[in-house]
Structures are given as C-alpha cells and as structure tokens.
Amino acid sequence: MKKRLGAAILILFIALSTVLAACGSDKNENASKGNEGSASPGASAPASAGTGDDAGGKDAEPFTVSLRHIQIGEAQKFRKAILDDVVKKTEAEVPGLKFELDGVEDQVNRFTKLPAEMAAGNPPKIFDLFGGAGDALKYAKAGRLLDVTPIIEELGIADKFLNLSQFTLDGRVYGLPIGGSTEGFFYNIPMFEKYGIKVPTTLEELEAAAETLKQNGITPFAMGSKAAWVPLMMVNTLIGRYAGPEAIDGFPAGTHAWNSPEVTAAFAKYEEWVKKGYFTKGELGLEYADMLNQFVTGKAGMMFDGSWRASVFKDPSQAGELTGQVGFFPMPPVPGGKGDQTYVNGNYSNGYGFSADLNERELTAVKAFIKNMYNEEMQLRGLLEDGVLPSMKLSGDALGKVEDPLVKQIMETMRRAGGAFSHFDSTVHSEVYKESEAQIQRLIAGRATAAEVTEALQKIQEIANANQ
C-alpha cells in the first residue's frame, strides 16, 4: 500500500496527544487496482488558474457552477452552515459567479445519481465524492475527475492533508477529503450510572452491559438497518478485531478471504447479538435517523456510530435531555483476535470531487472553492461545530480550542490507538460492497448464517479480483 491509512492517522494522534497533554489532564494501493476500465485519467488543472480579478471585474458576465452536496436535514445543519459560508465567500471573490446548490441524500448521491451522471459524462462541476476503488478511483480512471494536484500545490496545501490515498491514482490527486472519522459506541451516561454499568473495556464487559440493559427493558444497541451501511459499520469493526487490521485491505488484494475462520467469526458474533435481541426490534424497517431517535429518547443505551454524530449531543434541539450526557468508547478487544487490538477504524473517504469538464471561469471558481474550504479555519470549524475530525494538519493552538468533552473523549480514544484500519466500502470493488449490503440484511432477517454470508462474499470477491 502506498500510504498506510493507520500511519496517516497516527500523525493526527501525535498532534492530538500533544494538545491534550498541554491542556492538562483535561471508506491505498489496493484500492487503486479496481476492476474498472483503463480509460485515461481526468484532466489536470493548470496551476495558473487564478481567482478574483483575473476573471474580470465587478461587471463580469454572470455564470453558474453546479455544486452537489449531502448536507441535508437537521443532523447536517452545522456542516451545511460551513458550506454556505464557503459558497458566499467564493462568490464574493470570483466576479460573476453564482453557485447552484443541489442537496441530495448521501446514499442517493453515491449509488444512484452520481454513477448515472458519470456514465453519461455530465456530473455537477463540484460534488460530494466518496474515496476508494468503487468511487473516486473508478471515476478517475474513466477520465471524469479533475486532477487537482497542481491546484493544491500552488495553494501550498498539498502537504497539509493527513491522508489522500483514497483519492490518489498513479501519484495524482482527484478529490479532497473534507474530514476524518472513526466509529465506536456512544453511550447514555446517566443510564449507565443508574444501572451500575461500567464503560466496557473487554468484550465480556460489553456483553454484560448489553444483558443488564436488556433485563431492564432497554434495547442494548440502537440500530436502523434499512440502509445496510449502518449495521456494516459494526461488522467492519468486528472484522478488524477478529481478523486483524490487515484483513480489510487483504480482500481486494487476494491476501485475505471473506470465508476465513476469523472473518466468519466476526459475522458470527454479529449474528449472535441479533439472535440475543441486542438490536432494535424491527431494525430492517428503520432508517439511520430512527437509530438516533431510539438512542436520544432513552429506548436504547448504546449506539454504534461514526464520530461525526458528536455534534448532535451538544444540540438540545436534537439530543433533548441527553444533551451533554453522552460518552464514547471503542469496540473492545475480542478473545483470540488477530493483530493489535487497540486499532480503531478510521477513514478519510468523504470529500469533494470536481468535473474534468471545466471551462476557464469554472476552473477559477473551483480553485477559489478549494482555497476557501480547505484551510485551518474551516477545518477547525468542522471540528468545533460539527464534531468532524480534521482531514488536514491543525496547529496546536487550533486543536487547543476544543472544549466539547465528547469530542475530547473521541480524540483521546484515537490518541491511544495503535493505528487505524479503513472501512471495506472504500477498499473493495463496488459489486463486492453491494453484495455485503444484501448479505448483512439476509443475516439480520435470519435468512442466512454467518458462514453462508462469508461464502457468498468470497465468491463475488474472487470474480472481482480476477477481472481487475
């Protein structure tokens, strides 16, 4: 792998460690091998693409640039506010520019709209883009994405990013991550105190906590599995625990098999928890938003989710009585698990891409957008206002401004980690990931066993690997 995700995240760990100490006690190389065609890479942006006056004066002819984003709904309001400010600033800098914003739900954009637009050769000029083999690298190979390497070099930010591997093909950068993330358990602090539950540090303690909650009429783990990526977050982490951090990258590389005993054990543990009734009843009919509602209303004691949820729990309009009453802990080690059990899952896969089909004025707008979005001010706002971990290196002074106890807890969790493994949706082929979504829902419904699931996934993986 050209650049280990774990190593990149450790850069952030080190920075966070320094800041936390100063504050007192207080979705890679394998991904770039996708099975898509060998069309020529996207167009490269000239480093000379300027902003401001070189595009014309105040009376410049108006022009529009389409911008597809996924910041819709109450839970995304903080991130949307940041985007709106970047849009406003960029429009003020580029004479005649007007952005046309198109808000689309994340999964609809990723799996429906954007693939169709890419196939037709007419994506938006700026759009939310997922990194990895099934998305960014595939579109880069097809020549649909702008090579932003000269832009970030001219702006002096090429070396500011913690990890660009999921947007990098043959040494060229075709998208920029907006933030980083990790996944783990959010828990109801007052509920844990009420029932004498200690924060789990072992799998046995986690299952004991689940049993205590269940015996008291409370769902242990909030879950909404109508969108299969939601339960797959926990499955991915269990794979990292049982099979080791290297297993995720090993699927597309052919060095690790889905039907190996250790990966099957991860699915078997999830299957066991389903059968024990640890997840929300009727989860296959519940949306991602329903999962949050289960948790904030006290119907569930824990919720496995991404660090991006942290902002919800400081907002009374979303968290209600649970505002400021939520803690976080990582998936505990598992008995007999492979590799370093302190690793956490971490990703720099959510970001923005840019169409390869840009005229000179549109290119000017894109460059200004990148300048205004990817800087310490906006990265810090994302961390402070939205709980989104930075994708760029921040100064100690900037990180020292973090006051939210929950965000600090997440950062401390990352600091203590030995490294990070990615989510397999950013490494495996798109057809393999789609099969994983179908199979996890079959397992939840009781229509497939863990062994049947992993056998099905391995068959699809072998076909994909053979065709790459």
- DSSP class per residue in 150-161: HHHHHTT-TTTB
Whether 9 maps to a domain, the answer reads: no
Residue 31 has pLDDT above 60, yes or no: no
CATH classification at residue 389 = 3.40.190.10
What local confidence, expressed as pLDDT, does residue 258 receive?
98
Burial (CB count within 10 angstroms: exposed 0-12, middle 13-18, buried 19+), residue 47: middle
341 with 355, same domain: the answer is: no
8 Å CB contact between 306 and 211? no
125 with 251, same domain: the answer is: no
What local confidence, expressed as pLDDT, does residue 415 receive?
85
165 with 34, same domain: the answer is: yes
Against a cut of 0.75, is the pTM above it?
yes
330 with 426, same domain: the answer is: yes
8 Å CB contact between 409 and 317? no
What local confidence, expressed as pLDDT, does residue 233 receive?
97
Residue 27 has pLDDT above 50, yes or no: no
Whether 413 maps to a domain, the answer reads: no
218 with 186, same domain: the answer is: yes
For the segment 408-463, what is each residue's pLDDT rounded down to a tens digit? 999 899 889 998 898 898 889 889 999 999 999 999 999 999 999 999 999 999 99
Whether 71 maps to a domain, the answer reads: yes
If you ran DSSP here, which 8-state letter would residue 185 be given? E
For the segment 191-203, what is each residue's pLDDT rounded down to a tens digit? 999 999 999 999 9
Whether 410 maps to a domain, the answer reads: no
DSSP conformation letters of 389-430? BPSB---HHHHTT---HHHHHHHHHHHHSS-EE--GGGTS-H
H/E segment holding residue 136: helix 136-141
If you ran DSSP here, which 8-state letter would residue 299 be given? S
389 with 268, same domain: the answer is: no
If you ran DSSP here, which 8-state letter would residue 112 be given? I
272 with 188, same domain: the answer is: yes
305 with 442, same domain: the answer is: yes
198 with 250, same domain: the answer is: yes
8 Å CB contact between 417 and 342? yes
For the segment 195-228, what is each residue's pLDDT rounded down to a tens digit? 999 999 999 999 999 999 999 999 999 999 999 9
The range of the structural domain enclosing residue 144 comes to 28-180+350-399
What local confidence, expressed as pLDDT, does residue 387 receive?
83
Mean predicted confidence (pLDDT) in 21-32: 37
Residue 2 has pLDDT above 50, yes or no: no
Whether 66 maps to a domain, the answer reads: yes
237 with 384, same domain: the answer is: no
What local confidence, expressed as pLDDT, does residue 58 receive?
61
Residue 29 has pLDDT above 80, yes or no: no
Whether 370 maps to a domain, the answer reads: yes
355 with 214, same domain: the answer is: no
Task: Please give the tally of structural domains in the chain.
Answer: 2
Mean predicted confidence (pLDDT) in 315-320: 94
8 Å CB contact between 9 and 179? no
Where residue 206 falls (left for φ over 0; alpha for ψ -120 to 50; beta otherwise) is: alpha
Residue 21 has pLDDT above 60, yes or no: no
CA distances from 260 to 243, 247, 264, 450, 456 (A): 9, 10, 6, 11, 12
Neighbours of 159 (CB within 10 A): 10
At 39, is the secondary structure helix, strand, or coil? coil
Whether 15 maps to a domain, the answer reads: no
Residue 379 has pLDDT above 50, yes or no: yes
221 with 261, same domain: the answer is: yes
H/E segment holding residue 121: none
Whether 100 maps to a domain, the answer reads: yes
At 224, is the secondary structure helix, strand, or coil? coil
Residue 308 has pLDDT above 60, yes or no: yes
